[in-house]
């Protein structure tokens, strides 16, 4: 993965949508997604929805309308969530011509889907909603073929002979490596789920324990220090933090990230999307290391 251009907006309770331009995938479709992306929306090939909280879905009708006949190939959503079936029906009634546009694909954690011949989409868990499968995360993966260990060190002439006799696929086996993880809304999960991601896009709704305690009765969210520690353990290459509560100013978030990263001696570059703002190239500005 070379350069990744990420356009997005993400503020807890209000709206979240994150578009990975080179991978042509949109994660979640909160209010304002089409107005924020404008001409870029024509590049969307896949949409992956994490859950049906209103701040993540209110832009769906516009996504459906704008993208149905402009190359959108599939929309993935949590199979256990009743909302999306109803939403699809509402979209079809409202914009009849979109019915033959693209499939809405119900997904479960543990499944994998093809995005392109080189890119896959793995569906992973989220702990946001206690009922299993109603909230999900995703990992975009790179698929490739690797030489089988038993053929390593073989002379070139042997390779060619086996390739001719049995086909080149006989020499290699399929592999998949994680590229970009998207947590959706969630409490912090075991680091193994995100191990080795080149980029992890993770929510960090709360900066401090006290504020999270105050809202304990709602669905689960993540606390900044816990996310940083988990990302360190998962050995991800880069971290993009999203979904901060609107109670925080951008400067406050920056200071908190630096303070916590310093404590952990964090070895990972950190970026964030500040509340209330559309960011057009989220990986351009780095908040840690300074």
Residue ranges that bind Zn ion, judged by CB under 5 A? 53, 55, 185
CB of 127 to Zn ion, least distance (A): 13
CB of 269 to Zn ion, least distance (A): 24
Nearer to Zn ion (CB atom), residue 53 or residue 260: 53
CB of 32 to Zn ion, least distance (A): 14
Nearer to Zn ion (CB atom), residue 6 or residue 261: 6
CB of 80 to Zn ion, least distance (A): 18
CB of 242 to Zn ion, least distance (A): 9
Nearer to Zn ion (CB atom), residue 101 or residue 275: 275
Phi, psi dihedral angles at 35 (to 5 degrees): -65, -30
CB of 187 to Zn ion, least distance (A): 13
Nearer to Zn ion (CB atom), residue 53 or residue 80: 53
Nearer to Zn ion (CB atom), residue 60 or residue 171: 60
Closest-by-Cβ residue to Zn ion is: 185
DSSP state string for the chain: -----EEEEEETTTEEEEEETTTTEEE---TTHHHHHGGGGGG--EEE-----HHHHTTHHHHHHHHTTTT--EEEEETT-THHHHHHHHHHHHSGGGTTT--EEEE-TT-EEESSSSEEEEEEE--SSSSTTSSEEEEEEEEEEEE-GGGTT--HHHHHHHHHHH-GGGGEEEEEEEEEEE--S-----GGGGTT-SEEEEE--BSSHHHHHHTTTSS---BHHHHHHHHHHHT-S-EEEE-B-TTS-HHHHHHHHHHHHHHHT--S-EEE--TT--BSSTTTS--B--
**239-277 burial, b for 16+ CB within 10 Å, e for fewer?**
bbbbbbbeebeeeebbebbbebbeeeebebbbbbbbbee
Number of neighbours of residue 44 by Cβ within 10 angstroms: 25
Nearer to Zn ion (CB atom), residue 10 or residue 193: 10
CB of 243 to Zn ion, least distance (A): 6
Question: Whole-angstrom Cα distance, residue 271 to residue 179?
Answer: 17
CB of 218 to Zn ion, least distance (A): 10
């Amino acid at each position: 993965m070379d350069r990744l251009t990420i356009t997005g907006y993400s503020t807890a309770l209000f709206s979240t949508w994150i578009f990975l331009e080179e991978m042509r995938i949109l994660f979640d479709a909160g209010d304002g997604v089409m107005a924020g992306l404008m001409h870029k929306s024509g590049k969307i090939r896949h949409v992956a929805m994490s859950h049906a909280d209103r701040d993540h879905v209110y832009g769906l009708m516009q996504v459906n309308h704008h993208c149905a006949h402009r190359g959108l190939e599939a929309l993935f959503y949590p199979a256990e969530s009743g909302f999306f079936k109803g939403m699809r029906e509402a979209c079809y009634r409202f914009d009849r011509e979109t019915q033959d546009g693209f499939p809405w694909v119900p997904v479960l954690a543990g499944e994998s889907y093809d995005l392109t011949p080189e890119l896959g989409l793995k569906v992973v868990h989220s702990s946001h909603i206690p009922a299993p499968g109603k909230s999900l995360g995703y990992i975009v993966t790179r698929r490739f073929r690797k030489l089988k260990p038993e053929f390593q060190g073989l002379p070139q002439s042997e390779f060619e002979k086996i390739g001719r006799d049995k086909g080149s696929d006989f020499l290699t086996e399929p592999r998949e490596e994680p590229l970009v993880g998207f947590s959706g809304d969630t409490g912090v999960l075991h680091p193994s789920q995100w191990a080795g991601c080149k980029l992890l896009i993770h929510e960090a709704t709360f900066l401090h324990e006290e504020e999270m305690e105050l809202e304990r009765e709602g669905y689960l969210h993540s606390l900044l220090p816990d996310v940083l520690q988990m990302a360190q353990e998962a050995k991800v290459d880069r971290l993009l933090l999203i979904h901060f509560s609107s109670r925080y100013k951008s400067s406050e978030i920056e200071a908190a990230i630096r303070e916590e990263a310093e404590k952990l001696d964090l070895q990972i570059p950190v970026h964030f999307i500040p509340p209330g703002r559309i960011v057009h190239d989220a990986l351009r500005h780095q908040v840690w290391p300074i």
